[in-house]
A and B are shown apart, each in its own frame.
Chain A
Amino acid sequence: MWKYVFRRLLYLIPTVIGVTFIVFLLLFITPGDPARMILGDQATEEAVADLREEMGLNDPFLAQYGRYLYNAVFHFDIGRSYVTHAPVTQEIKAAFPATLKLATLAVVLAVVLGIPVGIFSAIKQYSILDNLAMVFALVGISMPVFWLGLLLILLFSVHLGWLPASGFDSFKYMIMPAVTLCTASLAVISRMTRSSMLEVVRQDYIRTARAKGQKERVVVWHHALGNALIPIVTIIGIQFGSLLGGAVLTESIFSVPGVGRLMVEAIKMRDYPVVQGGVLYIAILCSLVNLLVDILYAYIDPRIKSQYS
């Protein structure tokens, strides 16, 4: 078991380094000069050229990348924002709680609502409620997240005045963005739960349990659900990852001071260090979550477990 974990952790390292490489590469070929961004539109050409030299922007790609990697690994220093001059880690640390709160709330909502709906649909397969639920789920996946957000604002802020449209102070600020964000995941989880349950229910061991005279409820909850949960757990892990990224649009609409919005602003401003740092953090977080999920998965699924112990 621990061999598996260890090996996976080891794999994390080249993955993360690869991420930094790709992001650095992308930003390198991006037109737009950070020196000019910093100096603003009142600057002279010479001032820009001087600053570029000072910032080391004229060095070859590998030299710049090497420098960055060195500082990151040995000094935990991933640079300072070109715009605010504050350390990148500080900017991200300030923005992360908002995104984390939002994503977590969205995942919790998606799971708490999605799984029961999926189970219910599976049990009452082909009923009107099942069909309705599944159509709703499809609608949830199909709806563009930013449109949903706008509609919610229109309804709850503009017309009804119940909820605030922006900011991130207390709980009531989080409701709409979280609901917006969780919709797609909710849909995916409920569909996944349903199909997983359906598949499991047809298995032989369920028939055996029924034949043995077990009560229906026990059959469902103990035998079916347990096994059905396996792929669901994987999905939840993937969803959390996409939520972190997908929060970008939601954060823009609701003015949530999170990492997604930080990224978009930073890209627009050519604030390379912040973009790098942000993507790095998100990538590491996603990888860790996936690792956790895989471990959980391996733990739950006896087939995999036996392979490694």
Chain B
Amino acid sequence: MSAKSNENLRGVVLRFSKNRFAVLGLILIILFCLVAVFASHIAPYSYEEQDLLNTLMPPSSEHWFGTDEFGRDIFSRIIYASRVSLKVGIIAVGIGMIVGGILGAVSGYYGGWLDNLIMRAMDILLSIPSILLAIAIAASLGPGVVNIMIAIGISSVPQYARIVRGSVLSIRSQQFVIAARAVGGRDFHIIFKHILPNCMAPIIVQATLGVAWAILNTAGLSFIGLGIQPPIPEWGAMLSSGRNYIRDFSYMTLFPGLAIMITILALNFVGDGLRDALDPKMKR
């Protein structure tokens, strides 16, 4: 079995690397992660240093992206904001994956009334538009980056639950699982060791797109005003404050928006590439 999965893995990597967009996306993502981690070394200014005499300056050689309404360097703030986005993306997706994954696995494996109950609960969550759900949760938990992560994480649980359940259902009836159960393996053991590894493919794709979605929604929530404490920078919050200055100082909205778009685009490229690479039916 391990030989086969190695072969599979090689096939996946090969197919992925043939996809130019996917590779480009991957490079951008790695760049993004590096920028986030090494922000303090890359950014020329701190994100909170105010210069009240030089507010709202257009892009110049001193301030590549100009300054905001407090005289803070926008370029530095955009770089530091990538940290927030990285954190949010990972944690929100993590919450969704873990909680959703467990729910979906249990639901698909045991079936019956448990399955029904869990899936109905997921249906209920799904019938509320996710951004509204995220807003409601964020509003009830209170402001703050952590709470936004929780809010977005929770609102993404149903998707993962569905995916995992679907995979579990299709694998459950396969030979090796029946064999494992016949031998008397414990359920928990079976789920984790046999079933879940084979579900990984769709989960990974969903996770990649999920990070994109999480970042987008965080920006959206911050845009409405739910949650980031000053002076911590976040792209959506920067767009929101730039909104008031849009007529004369449009660069304040241009750059954060571009940052969001490029990050999400890269994530989508990678997600698409992964999906194509992992699914042998879709020949490219």
Contacts and interface: CB of A to CB of B under 8 A. Distances in A.
Contacts, number: 134
B232 interface: no
Interface centre among B131, B137, B264, B272 (most CB of A within 10 A): B131
A242 B131 CA distance: 9
B260 interface: yes
Interface in A139-186: 139, 141-147, 150-151, 153-154, 158
Interface string B111-148: 00000000011011101111110011101101000000
A144 to B, nearest CB: 5
Nearest to B20: A131
Contacts of B170: none
Contacts of A15: 120, 123-124, 127
Identify whether the interface residues of B are mostly helix, strand, loop, or mixed. Answer: helix
B250 interface: yes
Contacts of B261: 139, 142-144, 147
Contacts of B253: 147, 150-151, 154
Given A30-B139, A267-B136, A151 B257 contact: yes
Contacts of A111: none
B223 A146 contact: yes
A241 B129 CA distance: 7
Interface stretch (B70-78, B101-109, B190-198, B212-220): B212-220
Contacts of B125: 22
Contact of B128 (A22, A153, A246): A22
Interface stretch (A57-65, A207-215, A280-288, A295-303): A280-288
A197 interface: no
B132 A245 contact: yes
B81 interface: no
Contacts of A66: none
Contact of B220 (A14, A144, A158, A199): A144
A199 B282 CA distance: 8
B243 interface: yes
B136 A144 contact: no
Interface in B21-53: 21
Given A31-B142, A279-B136, A158 B129 contact: no
B268 interface: yes
B257 A246 contact: no
Nearest to A131: B21
Contacts of B272: 138
Interface centre among B129, B139, B265 (most CB of A within 10 A): B129
Contacts of A290: 127
A245 B129 contact: yes
25 contacts: A15-B120, A15-B124, A22-B124, A26-B139, A27-B136, A31-B142, A138-B268, A138-B272, A139-B265, A143-B264, A144-B220, A145-B220, A146-B239, A147-B239, A147-B253, A150-B243, A151-B253, A153-B246, A242-B129, A245-B132, A264-B135, A267-B135, A275-B136, A286-B129, A287-B127
**Can you list the 9 inter-chain pairs with the closest CB atoms, starting with the nearest?**
A245-B129, A147-B257, A18-B124, A30-B140, A142-B264, A142-B265, A283-B127, A267-B139, A26-B140
